[in-house]
Amino acid sequence: MNKNYSALTLEELPKRLSQISAITDRIGTNFSEWKVTEVGDGNLNLVFIVVGSKGKIVIKQALPYVRVVGDSWPLTLERAYFEYNALVRQEERDPGIVPSVFHFDREQGLIAMECLDSHKILRGKLIAGEKVKNLGDVIGKHCARLAFKGSDLFMDTKDKKHDVSLFQKNLELMSITENLVFTDPYFEAKMNNNTKGLDPIIKIIRDDVTMKTRAQLMLLKFTSNTETMCHGDLHSGSIMCTETDTKVIDPEFAFYGPMGFDLGMNIANYLMAFFSQPAHRKNLTEINSFQKWILKVIEETIQAFNDEFSNLWYNNRKGILFPKCLFEDQEQSSQFALNSVFKNIWSDAVSVCGIEMHRRCLSLAHNADFEKIEDLSYRAKLEARNLLMGRELILNSDKIKDASELTSLAIKFNERNIL
């Protein structure tokens, strides 16, 4: 840890940040009157909202340990550096998708950024039954733009390799995903926890050598397929929305990985919102209506991904991969090549989706979608549907053809009474 690092406190914050013009330009210089609140509800960091005479700002600071666990689990402050680097690239590749960044201090692991005060965390909205207009379209396009524009389909390969070299150093955060997401769900890991009553389902999953092998093949891709820069943690807690606007936050897990990674993790979290709905809505009509909307969001996300990826493929393919000299310039279509690439992306996405559905019920960091269900036997019953669908996805990631096959599966598992 850097010797000059010091975690901000509510009391010290104004004085410590009062000399940074990028901050005072936004919220005013009269720091003694700033109102500071700590709003971090994530697993890792301090997050402050600072209100001054001229405006508001968010200050995010890395802690030298995992907040949700405590200082027994130290964690590098350098993750703020990777978050900053990822935010810059996200903004470049999909302008407007992330909060504006005003200031970055590597030594303090600190980023000052736009306060999205009319936005709410998407996960909360999904639990509350609040719809978001264009959600699927915005996130689907965003995933496609990140996937395409960080890859050798688009980037100069020298720049891309420099970038891979840089992000390989975000290894402590990658390590968390490698363990918590890909491996811990499948054995009795120390930090695991699960809802009482799930043991028979867990047995089915851990007894399935074929499925575990496929999950580990996906881990091999996570750790070794540097296809593009991924957000790395694009669940519904990393998305903030108003009724009509959608932003992506918290890319500190950014890494070079499979082009389908973000898409898969995103869909998984919608599916968990879907499976948990019966516990959050008042009656069957409300349940059905909101579940239907979630499945529509999933389908729109995938459609938007396909459309945007295809659009970029035909109009912005300027990297070393699938160059036009091999196809269009020889008067041959590159449609088959695009379909082949997309087939691999989709299969990876489905596989990641299934694994994410497992780890959120079996490993360390669970989702509020299920955690907020107080009736534990009901929670277990809904989680069981989610877990068994996850298994199905991992086993058949290369056989599930498209979005509608995926959502049909969700409907099927939603009707099963397993526990």
Q: What part of residues 165-184 is at the interface with a copy of itself (CB under 8 A)?
A: 165-166, 168-169, 171, 174-175, 178-179, 183
Stretch that binds a copy of itself, among 86-94, 127-135, 217-225, 385-393 (CB under 8 A): 217-225
Closest contact distance (angstroms) between CB of 167 and a copy of itself is 9
Q: Do 349 and 139 meet the contact criterion of CB atoms below 8 Å apart?
A: no
> Binding to a copy of itself by residue 401, rule CB under 8 A?
no
Query: Which position among 18, 43, 192, 216 is part of the footprint of a copy of itself (CB under 8 A)?
Result: 216
Question: In 10 A of CB 299, how many CB atoms?
Answer: 18
Q: What part of residues 367-386 is at the interface with a copy of itself (CB under 8 A)?
A: none
Q: Which is nearer to a copy of itself, 216 or 242 (CB)?
A: 216
Give strand pairing partners of 255: 230
Query: Which position among 219, 388, 395, 418 is part of the footprint of a copy of itself (CB under 8 A)?
Result: 219
Main-chain dihedrals φ then ψ at residue 37, nearest 5 degrees: -130, 150
Alpha helix positions (H), 317-375: 335-362, 368-371
Q: Which is nearer to a copy of itself, 35 or 343 (CB)?
A: 343
Distance from C-alpha of 260 to C-alpha of 257, rounded to nearest angstrom: 8
Closest contact distance (angstroms) between CB of 188 and a copy of itself is 8
> Binding to a copy of itself by residue 337, rule CB under 8 A?
yes
Q: Which amino acid makes up residue 273?
A: A
Distance from C-alpha of 342 to C-alpha of 348, rounded to nearest angstrom: 10
Q: Which is nearer to a copy of itself, 315 or 333 (CB)?
A: 333
Q: Which is nearer to a copy of itself, 287 or 321 (CB)?
A: 321
Give the position of tokens 């028979």: 200
> Binding to a copy of itself by residue 158, rule CB under 8 A?
yes
Angle at 178 between CA 256 and CA 201, to 5 degrees: 130
Closest contact distance (angstroms) between CB of 193 and a copy of itself is 17
> Binding to a copy of itself by residue 217, rule CB under 8 A?
yes
Q: Do 276 and 115 meet the contact criterion of CB atoms below 8 Å apart?
A: no
CA 343 to each of CA 223, 229, 349, 402: distance values in angstroms, whole numbers, following the listed order: 20, 19, 10, 10
Alpha helix positions (H), 363-375: 368-371
How many residues of this chain bind a copy of itself (CB under 8 A)?
53
C-alpha 102, offset from chain centre: 23
The residue among 99, 88, 113 whose CA lies nearest residue 27 is 113
The residue among 111, 113, 112, 133 whose CA lies nearest residue 122 is 133
Grouping H, G, I as helix, E, B as strand and the rest as coil, residue 247 is strand
> Binding to a copy of itself by residue 161, rule CB under 8 A?
yes
Closest contact distance (angstroms) between CB of 386 and a copy of itself is 21
Query: Which position among 32, 72, 325, 374 is part of the footprint of a copy of itself (CB under 8 A)?
Result: 325
Closest contact distance (angstroms) between CB of 211 and a copy of itself is 11
Helix (H) or strand (E) segment spanning residue 412? helix 403-414
Which tokens belong to 138? 């915005």
Q: Which positions from 224 to 263 touch a copy of itself by CB under 8 A, shown as an x/- string?
A: xxxx----------------------------x-------
Q: Which is nearer to a copy of itself, 210 or 315 (CB)?
A: 210
Stretch that binds a copy of itself, among 36-44, 106-114, 163-171, 265-273 (CB under 8 A): 163-171
Q: What part of residues 22-81 is at the interface with a copy of itself (CB under 8 A)?
A: none
Q: Do 261 and 352 meet the contact criterion of CB atoms below 8 Å apart?
A: yes
Grouping H, G, I as helix, E, B as strand and the rest as coil, residue 4 is coil
Binding residues for a copy of itself, rule: CB under 8 A, are 151-152, 157-158, 161-162, 164-166, 168-169, 171, 174-175, 178-179, 183, 186-187, 189, 206-207, 209-210, 212-214, 216-217, 219-220, 223-227, 256, 320-323, 325-327, 329-330, 332-333, 336-337, 340-341, 344
